Structure 1
């Protein structure tokens, strides 16, 4: 049987057979071998069955990047249940919405959960609330379930193309979050494919700062590490200095994350004092990054950083390869992974020739099954032939590489002319005083829309609005120069590090109106 046809639990089972006593996980509290991971997830699976969790039932997980989180992934997979992992930092209304929408049978929480939602409210929405790493009177704990189940659960047969492994809630920038149903094949085939393309093996050590309620953390980090027989270091909280220390101490070889993470690491005062010589490869994705930034990270961290493109609904779609030329690696997000096809389409969803800007459409084993309980929303983006329309704009070059242009919804139309925010952002990020930049469209009575740039300066640097306008005007067409320049000390971001432009726009409009 081809490993790419395995279920999630089969992937761990085979890894445990081959790498049994080898370390699989370390969350800075406890080290676990592959055999321990397989055994503990089997005992937890038996406990879940005792609690009445049946095949297809949902299991809510509101936990940080802990070993227990990974154990839960495989326990759920063994009994054919569906994971619903979500951000522990969500506010009460977001958590309540997810619980009411997905209706999980059980919910695993940390002590911090009660700061967001009352336990009585949570208990009214699920059958069992289970405490992880703390005790609460009248509440069952994770450790109790493990201790009282010495026998492992027999694995349920899984249809990898139909059975949903997880429902991941998108960070709803417009309206409430949508639950993306991701099947076993999507996660497993993607993991083995990424492992092959990045030449991963059992000697690799992954550092995992990406949250495990995000597709990037689940597939490109945890599952790719398991598929490779590698070791992984889980980070509960991201801090650039901690990452640099762990790369040196744990001899990390694979470092994957969002652009902000790498850039913060480079900005550490004592960056040059860390020994990063074990770093081999990694993937940067989930948010735009300029060619200069990619080049800087590759040069200063001295490893084969690959660019990638993917979203929750598709999993990983493209990646640059180690043998690509520098221009391809820094200026594109690479070619589609084997088994995936990408088209650039017009507003009628007809394919466009190379070199033209259009919507990125994806045909992939990784495409979602649909949005949970949202058939109309599903039909808007997933056609009958299985093509998913991302809402992202891109260009396909003659070699099949994709250049990411930006979000379709973020396109600014000024007096009938198209302005792509990412093009302006790329120019702004070359400015020596600028640390971060985001360009949004604001309503204009005459032009329809006008561009506004929100700037974060580097520490102890100064710059005026006129300085920035002049800098931009010297590098791009005049109509693209932002009419408004605002300075900010921080941006609203998602858990995966993306700037939330919808929220940023709201903040800017409130500021202007005030």
Structure 2
């Protein structure tokens, strides 16, 4: 399959700034920047990076919320041929230390949240720490770097989109230690292009970016897509449904990509009906499964053509429900392979299975990672000699190519020799009127191997019992699938991207036994 010519990340912004320099590019509730102004500041920042000793191939850490400075850094780091290492500013010391040490970052840009991490220990791992939107004695600040005049000759770096690495994205660690996923320029740029084309985006669109830019969803489906289509971006650094709804009305937002939990919170907001959301046109949801009733409610009550996506850090975007799709294709599937991508469903021997049979989702396409940083053995386990990546996710494919997501392979529960897929139980339990959120995990049992455990967050001011839950489930499932244990919890742990952290949940449940 011949690949179309794709620009590098920095070239993408340069091209858009040349075409529409006066077009508003970014509003982050602090500043408004046109594409021309954004490109000018990216160049200044790139000169600052060179002055800090950053050269082609060096790693630069960025631990910031969704700010205009974050956007500038992403493009400036690409412009000098360095490698971006973005991560959550709410990470704790051991997570931050691991990422900086593993990546070998020379410089890291941080916000004031970093003070909680243990600044000195982190500073010892890198050559330079730059503070953003605050000052700290003895350290350079972002504002100082942007005021200086730089005489250094700027290096001529032209990244190869197919082979050069744009960023290391560290996996969320839901199933083990984080791994540095090496992502090419093509992966994020073409993902943004493909998603945007499917959603019929253009320069009149206004994106609200509520997903964190340090996550592949925020980075490729939001940022790169918006820049490619010369659209305006509204950045929200701290998500709150009230603020998101307010900004949709105020900025006439047309494209709203969000994880399911965000959409549910917006729909449930007590003042939802007071906001004018008539500008909304489309958006995608992903990162975790979106209940069919939420999809339908978004389409009906928000007037938005919501599409459903599936992807991974290692691949970028994989599937999307077509813009024109209706009915069960949107409500019950995660769509078809996007342009430039192949998908197949395989068994334990990695052989394709017939239509409708559950197996592992395998991927081949432009978004595939270069590998896990310094982990050749784990890379070889995930990617075969023909370039197929095995996602560890289970699904089925129908005769039209639509994928139905079944769950994580590692989350499958084996009870007395029977395979139990948590998601099918979760899907049903979410429909129970008292349940706000649910996660099903397997807990070890000396006789059965594993038992089904349901962690349930109830809606406000309701009570419930295990007997009630199983009475609801009994008509729909064989008895071996019913939870042997039901725990009612205040919160279910999730990552910044909205994925339930089942490893963390399982550990907590085992400690409480």
| Alignment TM-score > 0.5, same fold | yes
- The residue aligned with 1:111 is 112
Shift of 1:206: 0.6
- For the 8 Å contact 1:78–1:154, the answer to whether it is kept is no
User: Structure 1 residue 123: deviation in Å?
Assistant: 2.2
1:441–1:452 contact (8 Å) kept in structure 2: yes
Structure 2 residue aligned with 1:130 = 130
Are residues 1:13 and 2:43 paired?
no
1:14 and 1:150 mapped to 2: Cα distance?
Answer: 24
Corresponding position of 2:267: 266
Residues 203, 185 of structure 1: alpha-carbon distance in 2 compared, 3 angstrom cutoff? same
Which residues in structure 2 correspond to 1:174-323 (within 5 Å)? Answer: 174-323=175-324
Distance 1:311 1:149 in 2: 41
- TM (normalized to structure 1)? 0.97
In structure 1, the partner of 2:475 is: 474
User: 1:59-74 to 2 correspondence within 5 Å?
Assistant: 59-74=60-75
**Could you say if the C-alpha distance between residues 281 and 101 of structure 1 is closer, same or farther in structure 2, counting changes exceeding 3 Å?**
same
In 2, the alpha carbon distance for the partners of 1:3 and 1:223 equals 17
Distance 1:155 1:249, change over 3 A: farther
Partner of 1:332: 333
Q: 1:489 deviation in Å? A: 1.1
CA–CA separation in structure 1 for the residues paired with 2:193 and 2:155: 25
> Which residue does the alignment assign to 2:408?
407
Instruction: Please give the residue correspondences for 1:22-61 in structure 2 after superposition, counting only pairs within 5 Å.
Output: 22-61=23-62
CA offsets 1:11-63 (integer angstroms, 9 cap, x no match): 10110011111110111001111011111111111111111101010001111
Give 1:297 deviation, angstroms.
2.2
1: CA distance, partners of 2:187 / 2:76: 18
Per the alignment, in what secondary structure is the counterpart of residue 173 of structure 2?
coil
How much has 1:390 moved relative to structure 2? 0.3
Q: In structure 2, what is the Cα distance between the partners aligned to 1:362 and 1:482?
A: 33
> Could you say if the C-alpha distance between residues 196 and 286 of structure 1 is closer, same or farther in structure 2, counting changes exceeding 3 Å?
same
Which stretch of structure 1 is more off in the superposition, 52-61 or 134-143?
134-143
Contact 2:263 2:294 (C-alpha < 8 Å) held by counterparts? no
Runs of at least 5 residues in structure 2 that lack an aligned partner in the other structure: none
SS at match of 1:87: coil
Question: TM-score when scaled to structure 2?
Answer: 0.97
Q: Which moved more, 1:146-155 or 1:345-354?
A: 146-155
Equivalent-residue separation in structure 2 for 1:193 and 1:149 (angstroms)? 39
Shift in Å at residue 477 of structure 1? 2.3
Query: What secondary structure sits across from 2:140 in the alignment?
Result: coil
In structure 2, what is the Cα distance between the partners aligned to 1:225 and 1:473? 47
TM superposition shift of 1:78: 0.6
Check 1:170–1:67 CA distance in 2 against 1; reply closer, same or farther (3 A cut): same
Aligned mates of 2:353, 2:127 — CA distance in 1: 51
Shift of 1:92: 0.3
CA offset digits 1:105-149 (Å, max 9, x no partner): 11111122121122x222211111111111222211112222113
| Aligned residues of 2:48 and 2:150 also touching (Cα < 8 A) | no
* Alpha-carbon distance change, 479 to 392 in structure 1, aligned in 2, over 3 angstroms: same
Matched, 1:489 2:477: no
Q: How big is the shift at 1:155?
A: 4.8
Q: Deviations over 1:441-463 (max 9, x none)?
A: 11122221111111111111222
Query: What does 1:417-432 align with in structure 2 at a 5 Å threshold?
Result: 417-432=418-433
User: Deviation string for 1:291-311 (max 9, x for gaps)?
Assistant: 222222222212100000001
Say whether the 8 Å CA contact 1:44–1:149 is kept in structure 2.
no
Residue 149 of structure 1 is matched in structure 2 by 149
Give the match for residue 167 of structure 1: 168
**2:107–2:130 Cα contact (<8 Å) kept:** yes
Distance (Å, rounded) in 2 between the aligned partners of 1:121 and 1:67: 27
2:86 — aligned with what?
85
Question: C-alpha separation between the residues in 2 aligned to 1:111 and 1:299?
Answer: 41
Q: Is contact 1:4-1:189 (8 Å) kept? A: no
Give the distance between the partners of 2:438 and 2:109, measured in 1 at CA.
37
SS at match of 1:351: coil
Paired position in structure 1 for 2:457:
456
Q: Does the residue aligned with 1:324 lie in a helix, a strand or coil? A: coil
Structure 2 partner of 1:366: 367
Counting only pairs closer than 5 Å after superposition, residues 437-452 of structure 1 correspond to structure 2 as 437-452=438-453
Q: CA deviation at 1:153?
A: 4.1
RMSD of equivalent CA atoms: 1.3
CA deviations on 1:273-317 (whole Å, 9 max, x unpaired) are 111111100000000122222222222212100000001000000
Task: Please report how far the alpha carbon of residue 255 of structure 1 lies from its aligned counterpart in structure 2 after TM superposition.
Answer: 0.6
SS of residue in 2 equivalent to 1:438: strand
SS in 2 for 1:431: coil
Number of aligned residue pairs:
510
Write the distance in 1 (CA, Å) between the matches of 2:353 and 2:88. 38
Q: Distance in 1 between matches of 2:183 and 2:212?
A: 17
Q: Tell me the CA shift for residue 195 of structure 1.
A: 0.9
